[in-house]
Structure 1
Amino acid sequence: MTTSNPIDVPDAFAASYGRNSGASGRAWITALPGLAAEFLDRWTLRPDGPAGHGMASLVLPVTRADGNTPLPTPRGRLNFRTVKSDEEAIGLLARILPGTLDAYSRADIARSSIEEYARFQYHDELLSYSSPREWWRIGVREDGEPVGLVVPARSPNGFVIAYIGVAEGHRGHGYVDDCSRKEPACRPPRAPNASPRTRI
């Protein structure tokens, strides 16, 4: 499959990212339409509306080639509940961070410890989102063990998943799919005029 629709990078995003990231940022913006098209082709997706953006990411509404959403159907193996306390969320973050693929988190952990970084990430990042903490959900197995955390948030372009993670030792079982598809527990209610499109 070859993406026939060109990917348009929003001008405001290109200008902001290029200005704040220097020459390497401008080169990345120039390459971005091709990178996006490559991933759309690899995952057999097609654009389904104009591109949006976050502070450092292109946001594309997409559908599969057959017109359906590319998100997997939740398997229903997790129950979801609200976060009981700051300490519970920080403790779960400390179980999620080991083995993270996020380069920034790995660098920060190397300079401190997982426990210190979990506390910092909770207070400095997660609490900074302008979304009610009542939206946050912990995914819990049937035996009562918390295994995942998902933090929906508002962005200038709509609702996003600001943070999602599965605890070390529980990855590879599809729990992240359950978290990303749980509605409305893991995501804020859809606005009346919003479409059910998926954004990558």
Structure 2
Amino acid sequence: MSEETIIEAPIKQAETSRLRAALRRARQTEAERSDVIVDLREAEIARLELLQDALSDVFDEIPEGTDLLECALIPGTPPRLWIDVLAHVVMARDKRTYRFLKDTRHGRQVILETTSIDEMANRVTDYVAHRLIERERALESDSEGKAIVSLAARQAEDKAMTVERTVRRFGWGSLITAFVLGVLIGAVGLFVVGVTFSLP
């Protein structure tokens, strides 16, 4: 072995051991960070579960057959407490503030942002009440619309019956009579034209 080989071996081992130590430190830091992220996520879910429990009486009072509203906690990223298809509650970045959001055709709208669970529960309750009233109005307009449609259908049916009676009056006999009459008139017309042009 040469002298250079002997000197390079400890240097490479020292660089490799420094790299291993740095990788070990990075992995440890990453593990601690992911533990913190998991803890924060669990804290978000726990706060949303508290709100869900506060709203359970409200959602129990909703009439059966109303599938428009459902208080469902979805543990995604971020976790969301869905009130209906359009509205949900999430935690803000500080993980203590509740944000009540509604998706509209103009984008997402913040309805309320608060740290108070009671204030948020009251606002969600008001929202649920408004949605139930909107549903009742829509059902009423549907029943009124059905009455208008049935009136229009009745009028159309009366017109169809009138047309059918008219068609029945002029049945097959009328059609055959009209055809025979047309043939006779055509034959007489041809005879008159032939006689007129054959005379000198």
Which has more radius of gyration? Answer: 2
TM-score, structure 2 normalization: 0.21
Determine which structure has the larger strand proportion and give its number: 1
Determine which structure has the larger helix proportion and give its number: 2
